[in-house]
Structure 1
Amino acid sequence: MTTYSAVRTTGIYCRPGCGAKPLAENVSTFELPAAAEAAGYRACLRCRPYRVAGTVADEAPELVCRAVQLIITGLLDESGEEALGERLGVSARHLRRMFNEHLGVTPDQFARSRRAHFARRLLDDTDLSIADIAFASGFGSLRQFNRAMREIFRASPRELRDRRRRGDRLAADGGLVLRLPFTPPYDWEAMCAFLRSRAIPGVESVEGGVYRRTISLDGEPGVLEVGQGGDDHLILRAHLPYWEGVMHVVDRAACLVGLDCEPVRAREHLAADPEFGPLVAARPGVRVPGAWGPFEVAVSAVVRDQLPPEDATDALHKLVEVYGVPVPGLAHGLTHAFPGPAALADAELVGPLAREVADGNIVLDGEVKTLARVMRKRAAEEVALRLGARDAWPLPGASERLRPWRSLAAVYQLVNEL
């Protein structure tokens, strides 16, 4: 897990490996850049900590992790901490206390830091205009954007762009190209194997070490491609109808490939298990995959739970062809965007699930008890795993010794069987 060192005498915080060598008595440590910024520190110009993965530790309470997932989807862009607390069934005051205790920041401070750091990466990596970057990063106005960047980075967006280094800009022959940073180890080959085994024909494909999928943004189609980049990042190429709110597209893509949480504690726990220890030693970089959308992964899990593997894949392909939104002119077997709940309300196998979601009777989240209202337990566990639950177990066999990290154990077992 990455920790950040802040120097009281300079007011600067750094990531591990920075060449600065302050006296130990002048250093404080923080687990998140947002926490260092909330304490009044600014990012080091030499090591640029905004360019590394600022993931939340897997030892944080599940309530905090669920709140972070909702922030990533953009819940705080147009609402406040009260709405976030209501969604989680707790008061905003309790949520702020939990965030301060475990992350060192409030939910609003966490969201604001994420927006600013994403904007800084866009200033470095792309040639998007300042205005496009402001709205792509989730800021409500240029004034708000400029104020946040000056407060966090002590410079205007234009000044920050002028500081970018020659190797920062990513050349693009189509689409927006961005780095998805991670803290090693990370096993992209294992992630591709898992995603390939669960790919929905017409919507997703994994070929030549690249994961591709269609998406829909306010009814307009787009395409995402994720592939290996370097030792500490993947490369995302996004073909989108517009740039507004692209931060949440990038964040959801990072969650999909397991970059939202570094499983330090989970890996340590499994490494001591006689069955899973050898698997962890052989592939220490395995992560738990996420999902692009809760409804899509729920439909897939329900179908795969009720049919043999080949029949399930064919059934999902048929659902996409009949009910999905055609996206012509794509390669790699991509043909449609996945249909929404209303479109599948009368579909075989998944109609009851689709109607409950379309009518607002259920919110698909990582709670197995909630999911079990509309699907069998094994499918509910599969969906919970993909939506960020740390202790889901969609497999047969005893697993009590693996608590509370059964999700990672399940992924290890599934990848080992592929």
Structure 2
Amino acid sequence: MSEYFEIAYAAASKRLCLFTGTGFSKALTKGEVPGWQELLESVCDNHVQNPDLKDSLFPEDSPNPLQLEEAAQIIGVDLLGQSKDIHEIVSEEIGEIEPTEIPDSVSEFFSERSFRIVTTNYDKLSEQLVGSDCQSLGPGMPVPKSNSRVKVFHVHGSIDHPPRMVITADDYFNFMTSETYFSRKLSTVLHENTVVVLGYSLGDTNLKTILSDHSGFMREHFVGSSIFFVSRSQIDQPLRDYYSACYGIRVIDNTEVEEFFGELNRQLPRAEMVLDRSIRSLNKVLHDDKMFKNSFLKMEDSFSEIVSALGAQGISLESRDVVRMFGDILERKKGLCGESGAWEQYEHLAAWLVNVGALIEIRERSLEAPYLQVVKFSMEHMSKQKQLGYSWHAYKRWEAGWKNVRASNRSMIRDFILEKSDDPDAKRIVSLG
């Protein structure tokens, strides 16, 4: 559960941003919030006079002939002929929706924690969940000068200011080409926070567009992947690899919204407890030539704590001091595996190696050689079958985590193991899809 600890650590340090889409609003309303096409079809049913327009834009037996924003443009033109505004109509339909039967885990987090929300939703459901200590920001809206526990950035506008809602093709063009205070502020929020994406499809065009600039910044500055995508369904390996490579996204799949917040709430007390201590300890190791205590490195979550502290301070994972520290940590964890009765250390080591492989590109960097040697050690001390002298739990960690390792790192590990090791279980892991 290292991903949840990293997210909890970000929340504890008030550096968490939730990036919410329609699926998140659906989870708060038992599915009553319409999808984008459903919303446009409803506008056609209730306001458009041309009886053939809906069928031509959204045929039942064939793909849509136009993108949804283009369809919205055509619907908007039809409504103008009736002296109606599509922005006002959409605002009225969305404004009638209220949250219903909110999961306890979601309510607990929203009522107690400080965080940011970036959303392409027009609705105000998040604000209703948070209560009075919340500020809404969007294009064309006044900028609050005071602080609040939660800020919600409505990327495509909100029902508070219908004229600036991004609905039609013209709206999207203006949104994509304009450089405003709001767009610059949005970029800053994404760069300065750990981002958790909730309620989107990985193929969502809006999501990809907004994250492109952010992922370019992350690659240029070589900080670890700090974007998590939470999906209700399973994400296939090719999609995982593509979005990891292009956007630095790590996937948490087969997870409902209430499950995500439930686990996050469980991780928060420990994250809050170690927050200040972990940053102080990290600084001593990086700048005062100190070393982490063995008692600390024996704990499974200690590596996640170190990575989270690095992220909290914006320290590059490729800096000389960090690479030296990672190499030392992995070697010392390997040494701890040799102590009497230390079988859990083999399991921890496997989890740490998977975590490093998911976080950063390792090939052709100074961490490559020591990382591969420790991977070889870990894989040669595990076993798919329960047998004396080998860790079955370490094998399970590699088997479950292999899909989360970046594709380039998987390829690097596979080449190294097939060349340097004769261990059948090691070869079995690197041959997984």
Structure with the largest fraction of helix: 2
The alignment's TM-score, normalised by the length of structure 1, stands at 0.20
The alignment's TM-score, normalised by the length of structure 2, stands at 0.20
Structure 1 or 2, whichever has the larger Rg, is 2
Q: Which has the higher contact order (CA 8 A, sep 6+)?
A: 2
Structure with the largest fraction of strand: 1
